[in-house]
Structure 1
Amino acid sequence: MSTTISQAESARIESAIQAAVSGSWEEFAKLTDEPFPNDASMKEQFEDSYPRLKQARGNWQMTSDIGIVPEDGTRVITVILKAPPNVDIVLTLHSTSDRDDSAISIWTFFQQLNLDD
Protein backbone atom coordinates (compact mmCIF):
# COMPACT_ATOMS: atom_id res chain seq x y z
CA MET A 1 0.00 0.00 0.00
CA SER A 2 1.49 3.29 -1.14
CA THR A 3 1.92 6.21 1.23
CA THR A 4 2.03 8.75 -1.59
CA ILE A 5 -1.03 10.57 -2.87
CA SER A 6 -2.44 8.94 -6.01
CA GLN A 7 -3.46 10.86 -9.13
CA ALA A 8 -7.15 10.39 -8.30
CA GLU A 9 -6.63 11.63 -4.74
CA SER A 10 -4.57 14.59 -5.91
CA ALA A 11 -7.23 15.56 -8.46
CA ARG A 12 -9.96 15.36 -5.79
CA ILE A 13 -7.92 17.52 -3.39
CA GLU A 14 -7.32 20.11 -6.11
CA SER A 15 -11.02 20.12 -7.05
CA ALA A 16 -12.06 20.57 -3.41
CA ILE A 17 -9.68 23.51 -3.00
CA GLN A 18 -10.88 25.12 -6.24
CA ALA A 19 -14.54 24.71 -5.22
CA ALA A 20 -13.69 26.35 -1.89
CA VAL A 21 -11.81 29.23 -3.51
CA SER A 22 -14.82 29.85 -5.79
CA GLY A 23 -17.15 29.63 -2.78
CA SER A 24 -19.31 26.95 -4.41
CA TRP A 25 -20.86 24.69 -1.78
CA GLU A 26 -22.71 22.82 -4.55
CA GLU A 27 -19.45 21.93 -6.33
CA PHE A 28 -17.71 21.05 -3.05
CA ALA A 29 -20.59 18.81 -1.95
CA LYS A 30 -20.46 16.86 -5.25
CA LEU A 31 -16.83 15.88 -4.59
CA THR A 32 -17.53 13.31 -1.88
CA ASP A 33 -18.28 9.75 -2.96
CA GLU A 34 -20.01 8.97 0.33
CA PRO A 35 -22.62 11.30 1.86
CA PHE A 36 -21.38 13.62 4.58
CA PRO A 37 -22.23 12.19 8.03
CA ASN A 38 -23.80 15.57 8.84
CA ASP A 39 -24.57 17.90 5.92
CA ALA A 40 -25.26 20.91 8.15
CA SER A 41 -21.95 20.52 9.98
CA MET A 42 -19.96 20.13 6.76
CA LYS A 43 -21.69 23.13 5.20
CA GLU A 44 -20.85 25.15 8.32
CA GLN A 45 -17.19 24.07 8.07
CA PHE A 46 -17.19 25.05 4.39
CA GLU A 47 -18.82 28.44 5.01
CA ASP A 48 -16.31 29.19 7.78
CA SER A 49 -13.27 28.11 5.76
CA TYR A 50 -13.80 29.13 2.14
CA PRO A 51 -13.57 32.92 2.75
CA ARG A 52 -10.13 32.38 4.31
CA LEU A 53 -8.88 30.51 1.24
CA LYS A 54 -10.41 33.09 -1.07
CA GLN A 55 -8.69 35.86 0.90
CA ALA A 56 -5.34 34.02 0.70
CA ARG A 57 -5.54 34.09 -3.13
CA GLY A 58 -3.39 30.99 -3.51
CA ASN A 59 -0.79 32.29 -1.05
CA TRP A 60 -0.60 29.14 1.02
CA GLN A 61 1.75 26.29 1.62
CA MET A 62 0.20 22.84 1.24
CA THR A 63 1.37 19.79 3.15
CA SER A 64 -0.20 16.37 3.30
CA ASP A 65 0.07 13.12 5.19
CA ILE A 66 -1.45 9.70 4.64
CA GLY A 67 -2.36 7.24 7.33
CA ILE A 68 -3.18 3.64 6.46
CA VAL A 69 -6.00 2.08 8.50
CA PRO A 70 -4.58 -1.31 9.59
CA GLU A 71 -7.95 -3.10 9.71
CA ASP A 72 -8.90 -2.54 6.07
CA GLY A 73 -6.00 -0.82 4.30
CA THR A 74 -8.03 2.31 3.53
CA ARG A 75 -6.31 5.66 3.57
CA VAL A 76 -6.93 8.79 5.66
CA ILE A 77 -5.43 11.82 3.93
CA THR A 78 -4.86 15.04 5.84
CA VAL A 79 -4.09 18.15 3.82
CA ILE A 80 -3.07 21.34 5.59
CA LEU A 81 -3.14 24.66 3.78
CA LYS A 82 -1.02 27.10 5.75
CA ALA A 83 -2.58 30.44 4.91
CA PRO A 84 -0.71 33.25 6.70
CA PRO A 85 -0.82 34.99 9.02
CA ASN A 86 -2.03 32.41 11.54
CA VAL A 87 -4.90 30.27 10.28
CA ASP A 88 -4.53 26.88 8.62
CA ILE A 89 -7.25 25.09 6.69
CA VAL A 90 -7.42 21.34 7.29
CA LEU A 91 -9.01 19.08 4.67
CA THR A 92 -9.39 15.42 5.61
CA LEU A 93 -10.36 12.77 3.09
CA HIS A 94 -10.87 9.01 3.22
CA SER A 95 -9.83 6.91 0.24
CA THR A 96 -10.55 3.22 -0.25
CA SER A 97 -7.24 2.62 -2.06
CA ASP A 98 -4.47 4.28 -4.06
CA ARG A 99 -6.01 3.10 -7.36
CA ASP A 100 -7.73 5.40 -9.85
CA ASP A 101 -11.13 3.83 -9.11
CA SER A 102 -10.88 4.53 -5.38
CA ALA A 103 -13.94 5.90 -3.59
CA ILE A 104 -12.86 9.21 -2.02
CA SER A 105 -14.91 10.92 0.67
CA ILE A 106 -14.46 14.29 2.32
CA TRP A 107 -14.49 14.02 6.11
CA THR A 108 -13.55 17.51 7.35
CA PHE A 109 -12.76 21.02 6.09
CA PHE A 110 -12.04 23.37 8.96
CA GLN A 111 -9.83 26.18 10.20
CA GLN A 112 -7.29 25.77 12.95
CA LEU A 113 -5.23 28.41 14.63
CA ASN A 114 -1.51 28.21 13.94
CA LEU A 115 0.50 30.06 16.56
CA ASP A 116 3.83 28.93 15.07
CA ASP A 117 3.84 31.70 12.45
Structure 2
Amino acid sequence: MTETLSCNSCERCFVPLRGGRRLYPARRLGIKVAPTYWWDGLRWHWAGTTATTRQVAAIISLFIMPLAILHGALYLNLWAERPEWLSPMLLTALMSLLTIQLIYFTCWDFDFLAKRKS
Protein backbone atom coordinates (compact mmCIF):
# COMPACT_ATOMS: atom_id res chain seq x y z
CA MET A 1 0.00 0.00 0.00
CA THR A 2 2.89 2.34 -0.69
CA GLU A 3 2.24 5.37 -2.86
CA THR A 4 5.34 6.50 -4.69
CA LEU A 5 6.55 9.51 -6.61
CA SER A 6 9.19 9.58 -9.33
CA CYS A 7 12.45 11.09 -8.13
CA ASN A 8 14.86 12.68 -10.58
CA SER A 9 17.66 13.02 -8.03
CA CYS A 10 17.88 9.37 -6.94
CA GLU A 11 19.56 6.61 -8.89
CA ARG A 12 17.86 3.82 -6.96
CA CYS A 13 15.03 1.97 -8.71
CA PHE A 14 12.21 0.57 -6.68
CA VAL A 15 9.04 -1.40 -7.18
CA PRO A 16 5.88 -0.01 -5.59
CA LEU A 17 4.42 -2.35 -2.99
CA ARG A 18 0.88 -3.65 -3.56
CA GLY A 19 0.29 -1.73 -6.75
CA GLY A 20 1.31 1.69 -5.51
CA ARG A 21 0.08 4.56 -7.62
CA ARG A 22 2.09 7.48 -8.92
CA LEU A 23 1.50 10.72 -7.03
CA TYR A 24 2.13 14.28 -8.08
CA PRO A 25 2.85 16.99 -5.49
CA ALA A 26 0.24 19.67 -4.86
CA ARG A 27 0.99 22.80 -6.83
CA ARG A 28 -1.61 25.27 -5.60
CA LEU A 29 -2.06 26.21 -1.97
CA GLY A 30 -2.95 29.84 -2.57
CA ILE A 31 -0.37 32.12 -1.02
CA LYS A 32 1.01 29.36 1.22
CA VAL A 33 4.19 27.45 0.39
CA ALA A 34 4.71 23.94 1.73
CA PRO A 35 7.47 21.34 1.35
CA THR A 36 6.51 18.14 -0.44
CA TYR A 37 7.98 14.70 0.25
CA TRP A 38 7.53 11.23 -1.17
CA TRP A 39 8.10 7.76 0.26
CA ASP A 40 9.85 5.02 -1.72
CA GLY A 41 9.26 2.23 0.79
CA LEU A 42 12.53 2.79 2.66
CA ARG A 43 12.85 6.51 3.32
CA TRP A 44 11.33 9.91 2.64
CA HIS A 45 12.67 12.05 -0.21
CA TRP A 46 12.30 15.80 -0.47
CA ALA A 47 10.39 16.56 -3.67
CA GLY A 48 10.52 20.36 -3.58
CA THR A 49 7.95 22.95 -2.60
CA THR A 50 4.53 23.98 -3.79
CA ALA A 51 5.80 27.46 -4.71
CA THR A 52 5.30 28.62 -8.27
CA THR A 53 7.90 30.64 -10.16
CA ARG A 54 5.86 33.78 -9.56
CA GLN A 55 5.79 33.10 -5.80
CA VAL A 56 9.54 32.55 -5.65
CA ALA A 57 10.15 35.79 -7.58
CA ALA A 58 7.76 37.67 -5.28
CA ILE A 59 9.41 36.29 -2.14
CA ILE A 60 12.89 37.24 -3.37
CA SER A 61 11.80 40.73 -4.43
CA LEU A 62 9.91 41.29 -1.15
CA PHE A 63 13.08 40.31 0.71
CA ILE A 64 15.40 42.55 -1.32
CA MET A 65 13.13 45.60 -1.61
CA PRO A 66 13.28 46.76 2.07
CA LEU A 67 17.05 46.26 2.09
CA ALA A 68 17.43 48.36 -1.05
CA ILE A 69 15.25 51.10 0.45
CA LEU A 70 17.27 51.00 3.68
CA HIS A 71 20.59 51.25 1.84
CA GLY A 72 19.22 54.06 -0.33
CA ALA A 73 18.16 55.98 2.78
CA LEU A 74 21.56 55.43 4.39
CA TYR A 75 23.36 56.46 1.20
CA LEU A 76 21.32 59.68 0.93
CA ASN A 77 21.86 60.31 4.67
CA LEU A 78 18.13 60.81 5.28
CA TRP A 79 18.52 59.94 8.97
CA ALA A 80 21.35 62.28 9.95
CA GLU A 81 20.69 62.07 13.72
CA ARG A 82 21.12 58.29 13.76
CA PRO A 83 22.91 57.06 16.93
CA GLU A 84 26.49 55.98 16.43
CA TRP A 85 25.85 52.42 17.67
CA LEU A 86 23.13 51.93 15.04
CA SER A 87 25.49 51.02 12.21
CA PRO A 88 24.41 50.18 8.64
CA MET A 89 25.50 46.58 9.23
CA LEU A 90 23.24 46.26 12.30
CA LEU A 91 20.33 47.92 10.48
CA THR A 92 20.76 45.53 7.55
CA ALA A 93 20.79 42.50 9.85
CA LEU A 94 17.69 43.69 11.73
CA MET A 95 15.82 44.52 8.53
CA SER A 96 16.75 41.13 7.05
CA LEU A 97 15.54 39.29 10.15
CA LEU A 98 12.24 41.18 10.30
CA THR A 99 11.60 40.81 6.57
CA ILE A 100 12.30 37.08 6.45
CA GLN A 101 10.10 36.51 9.51
CA LEU A 102 7.27 38.50 7.93
CA ILE A 103 7.57 36.51 4.69
CA TYR A 104 7.72 33.24 6.64
CA PHE A 105 4.61 34.00 8.69
CA THR A 106 2.73 35.21 5.61
CA CYS A 107 3.68 32.54 3.09
CA TRP A 108 4.78 29.34 4.79
CA ASP A 109 2.32 26.55 5.53
CA PHE A 110 2.12 25.85 9.25
CA ASP A 111 1.51 22.13 8.99
CA PHE A 112 3.42 21.48 12.21
CA LEU A 113 0.69 23.31 14.15
CA ALA A 114 -2.03 21.09 12.73
CA LYS A 115 -0.40 17.77 13.65
CA ARG A 116 -1.69 16.09 16.77
CA LYS A 117 0.72 15.10 19.49
CA SER A 118 1.02 11.34 19.78
Is the structural similarity TM-score above 0.5? no
TM-score (norm. length: structure 1): 0.25
TM-score (norm. length: structure 2): 0.25
- The structure showing larger relative contact order (alpha-carbon pairs under 8 Å, at least 6 residues apart) is 1
